[in-house]
Amino acid sequence: MYYLRAFIAGMILPAVLVPIISTLGVLIGRPQMLTTLFFHWIPIFWGIWNVLYFAVFQQMRLDVNVRMLLTGMALGLLLGLTGTFGLHLPERIGLRGHLRFLPLVVAPIAYALLWRYVVKEFNEMLGLRN
């Protein structure tokens, strides 16, 4: 049950945001995200990553806030690398030139902050101790 709660806590935020971002993408004329399976799997990745946090990363002898920031940053970097170089998502949504590398900077920073300030709170709400 412990890891199931960790999985649920990790996927709450992206499970809410993915449909909102998809809808906004369609409304502004960029429906390319809807055809990318990777985008729809992001909540699952977040859930699995939160389970890994409790199974592995929690053992690091760092302050809990630093651990959460590093955990989120690592996930942001992995997904940013996959999206940028593996799936060429920036080009598909219209980012060209040097801007196509923007997710490699934005994703780790955004994920680190979201992990620290949102996922940490969801973990605590579901009774998971950091």
pLDDT of 82-128, one tens digit each? 989 988 888 877 888 889 899 999 999 999 999 999 999 999 999 99
Residue 37 lies in a domain: yes
Residue 43 lies in a domain: yes
- Is this prediction's pTM over 0.75? yes
What is the number of domains present in the chain? 1
* DSSP 8-state class, residue 88: -
pLDDT of 15-67, one tens digit each? 999 999 888 888 887 777 677 788 889 999 999 999 999 999 888 889 999 99
Domain interval for residue 72: 2-125
* DSSP 8-state class, residue 126: T
Euclidean distance between CA atoms 47 and 51, whole angstroms: 6
